[in-house]
Amino acid sequence: MLLSCISHTCKLILQHYIDEVERENCEDIGNEECLMRRTLVAHIDYIYTQKQKP
């Protein structure tokens, strides 16, 4: 139960971060920085959305 709650909390935090990055306008930063941020978000999303083995 505790792990489920922690996992759910992590997903909520991750989704908030992803939403912020998606709203972020890349015009104020360089293309490389924008790409790095989006890549990081994609990797984190991939890690936390994988099905866990029982």
List the chain pLDDT tens, one digit each, 54 residues. 445 556 677 777 777 777 776 666 666 777 888 888 778 877 776 776 776 555
21, part of any domain: yes
Which domain does 8 fall in, by range? 2-49
- Is the pTM for the entire model greater than 0.85? no
- Number of structural domains found in the chain: 1
11, part of any domain: yes
19, part of any domain: yes
Asked if 14 and 30 touch (Cβ cutoff 8 Å), the reply is no
